[in-house]
Amino acid sequence: MVTGSWIPLAGGWLIAYGSRTLSRTEAKWAALGLPGVVVAGALVWVWGRLDGRWGEPIEEGALREVLTGAWPVVVRVAAVASALYLVWRARRRA
């Protein structure tokens, strides 16, 4: 479960943000940009479901449940995206 991993997740993003090996742009992208893109994608997905554009429409009053259920997945995907970016940058520098 993600909630037990908040400290390591936040610590990883703080380490990436404070990295002296990465440029400031790369560090900001790893710690803020990619997680922000993942969160924005999740919000677009929920918006699309609210309007019935794709997927099963969200029932009236069920938005909180959908967001609560999606939150752990969104955080995990953001962490994996950041980790993959950092691995990619590390391999390019080597």
Q: Provide the pLDDT for residue 4.
A: 60
Nearest to 34 by CA among 67, 94, 74: 74
Calculate the alpha carbon distances from 88 to 22, 61, 82, 83 in Å. Answer: 12, 42, 10, 9
pLDDT level of residue 9 (50, 70, 90 thresholds):
confident
pTM of the shown model: 0.83
Q: Provide the pLDDT for residue 94.
A: 61
Q: Provide the pLDDT for residue 30.
A: 93
- Report domain extents, the chain: 24-93
CA distance 74 to 3: 12
Tens digit of pLDDT for each residue in 23-73?
999 999 999 999 999 999 999 999 999 888 888 888 888 899 999 999 889
